[in-house]
Amino acid sequence: MNVRDTLLQALIAEPDDATAWLALADCLEEEGHLPQAELLRLSRQLPGLKGAARRTAEDRVIALLASGVRPVVPEIVNSIGMRLVYIPPGTFRMGSPTRESRRMDDEPLHTVRLTKGFWMGRFPVTQGEYRAVTRLKPALFNRRRDSAAGIDLARCPVENVSWNDALAFTLRLSAREEKHGWDYDLPTEAQWEYACRGGIGTRYPFHFGATLRHGQANFASTYPFPPTEEDLDATPLGHPCPVGQYPPNVWGLHDMHGNVDEWCHDWYDPDYYTQGPGVGVDPSGPEYSPEHSQGRILRGGSFRGQGEDCRAAVRIGYIPTEGFPHVGFRVIARRLPGHSAV
């Protein structure tokens, strides 16, 4: 095992070891991978930066990713081949600033602190992964022979699954992976938005930066963000595509913007994030009430949504008992107590 692999294995065991992260950046530099080393160092520095220094660092991260640099991060692979990357604990601004185009009233800016790190699927749960756990094939895209021909359907995100189906999947996967020391769940919407932004602040609506264009995500790209005539000749796919075809964010997550909307754990209440300091630390969403709970949360936008629907702050409530052809999910995982290694 070479030095890089040794450090990555060490970070799987102790993902908050700051010294190991810096050593990994030094290792990448010694190997001659200077852009990856710079990207890693910037991702570790961002939480401690403010003002102009932070804006400069954010813009450099976005530029590196746009140039094709891919993050080098520790990854776990479970028994069904699902790949997960680590999302560190931290504090961020959730929501959108009033100047953000197309923002909604349910996106108030507020500070959230997540006290525990977690592992998150690099990709939305795929059809192959869903079938491996449930033996079911609910996806509607498979029935569109004109569009699905020649596509690796097992690598497409599962869709047409309800929130109830998604939660049941996490429970079955947890039972399967318990012997390996892992417990799975749906992310809260705070965890989802934090992971989506990847340390990039609310100055920008996407982890890509200020705009969303054809080639960055699977969405209705004839309606880019902000609205321009630049992409009027783009031809949207009009259906889900295999995961990982579009660039990741700095933490290694793909398809956080577009492809399929993703279920989160929380009930949707448009006023929840205006209710004071109680929602600021590890928020898990409102308690259910017939008056205020308007479905379960969806995040991320989909192949049929416009650019504005894919903004990191967009919140949507959907009926949790029904599946939809543009809705899937991804999972998070945490190590069970008493299990210190993968």
The answer as to whether 309 is a domain residue is: yes
Q: Which parts of the chain register pLDDT below 70?
A: 144-149, 227-233, 276-278, 292, 340-342
For residue 53, what are the domain limits? Answer: 1-72
Structure tokens at 342: 């993968």
Q: What is the pLDDT, as a whole number, of residue 223? A: 85
- Same domain assignment for residues 196 and 234: yes
Q: What is the pLDDT, as a whole number, of residue 340? A: 64
- Same domain assignment for residues 323 and 206: yes
State the burial class of residue 196 (Cβ atoms within 10 Å of its Cβ: 0-12, 13-18, 19+).
buried
User: Where are any strands of DSSP class E within the chain?
Assistant: 75-77, 83-87, 90-94, 110-114, 118-121, 182-185, 261-267, 296-299, 316-318, 327-328, 332-335
Give me the CATH number covering residue 307. 3.90.1580.10
Structure tokens at 96: 């959108």
- Same domain assignment for residues 162 and 193: yes
Q: What is the pLDDT, as a whole number, of residue 277? A: 62
Q: What is the pLDDT, as a whole number, of residue 290? A: 79
Torsion, Cα 253 255 258 259, to 10 degrees, reads -150
Q: What is the pLDDT, as a whole number, of residue 167? A: 98
Domain closes at, from 29, 46, 72:
72
Q: What is the pLDDT, as a whole number, of residue 222? A: 79
